[in-house]
C-alpha cells in the first residue's frame, strides 16, 4: 500500500506540501478507498441565510412567466380603471404614479436579482471545483488500473518466459539423452 507522499510523487511529481487542497483531498480519498463524490447542493442550501433564501425566491418569481402575466394583467387593470372606468382617476394619463411604482419595483427587484445571480455564480464555482475533484480522482483511478494491468501483463510475461525456458531446458535434456 502506497503512502500519501509516494502517491503525490507518483501521480503529480510533487511533494504533499505543494499539492492543492483539492489534490490532497483526492489522494487521501484514494488512500482511504472512499468516494470523493458528494452532493454540493446539500451543503450549499444548508448554509443559506433567510435573506439569501428570500432573494432567491424573489428572483425565481420575478423571472417567471407567472409574474410577467400577472404583472401584465395588473398594468392592464391599472390603465383601464384610470382611463375608462373612473370618473375621477387617481392616476390620470400619463400615469405618473404608475411610473413611480414601476421605478420603485425595478429599484428593489434589480439588486435582489443580482444578489441571486452572484450566489448562483458562487454555487457554480463550488460545483466546478467538485467536478474537478471527481474527474481528478477518476483519472487517478484509471491510471492506477493501467498500472495494475501493466504489472499483471509483465508478471504473466515473466511466468510465460519462465515456462518457455523450462520447456526448452527439458527439450535440450531429452535431445542430449537420445
pTM strictly above 0.75? no
**Distance of alpha carbon 58 from alpha carbon 78, whole angstroms:** 23
- Give yes or no for a cis peptide into 154 (omega within 30° of 0): no
Distance CA 39, CA 105 (A): 36
pLDDT in tens, 55-90: 888 888 888 999 999 999 999 999 988 888 878 888
Residues of the chain with pLDDT > 90, as a percent, come to: 44
- The contacts of residue 31 (CB under 8 Å, 6+ apart) are 1, 2, 3, 4, 7
The answer to whether the CB of 37 falls within 8 A of the CB of 141 is no
pLDDT tens digits along 109-159: 899 889 989 888 988 998 999 899 999 999 999 999 999 999 999 999 999
Whole-number pLDDT of residue 34: 86
The CA-based angle 50-51-52, given to 5 degrees, is: 90
Amino acid at each position: 500500500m502506497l503512502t500519501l507522499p509516494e502517491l503525490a510523487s507518483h501521480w503529480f511529481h510533487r511533494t504533499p506540501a505543494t499539492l492543492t487542497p483539492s489534490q490532497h483531498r483526492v489522494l487521501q480519498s484514494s488512500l482511504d478507498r472512499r468516494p470523493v463524490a458528494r452532493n454540493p447542493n446539500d451543503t450549499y442550501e444548508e448554509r443559506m441565510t433567510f435573506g439569501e433564501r428570500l432573494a432567491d425566491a424573489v428572483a425565481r418569481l420575478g423571472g417567471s412567466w407567472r409574474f410577467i402575466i400577472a404583472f401584465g394583467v395588473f398594468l392592464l387593470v391599472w390603465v383601464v380603471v384610470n382611463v375608462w372606468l373612473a370618473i375621477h382617476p387617481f392616476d390620470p394619463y400619463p400615469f405618473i404614479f404608475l411610473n413611480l411604482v414601476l421605478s420603485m419595483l425595478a429599484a428593489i427587484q434589480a439588486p435582489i436579482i443580482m444578489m441571486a445571480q452572484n450566489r448562483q455564480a458562487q454555487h457554480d464555482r463550488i460545483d466546478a471545483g467538485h467536478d474537478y475533484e471527481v474527474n481528478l480522482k477518476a483519472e487517478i483511478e484509471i491510471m492506477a488500473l493501467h498500472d495494475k494491468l501493466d504489472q499483471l501483463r509483465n508478471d504473466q510475461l515473466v511466468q510465460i518466459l519462465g515456462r518457455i525456458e523450462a520447456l526448452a531446458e527439458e527439450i535440450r535434456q531429452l535431445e542430449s539423452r537420445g
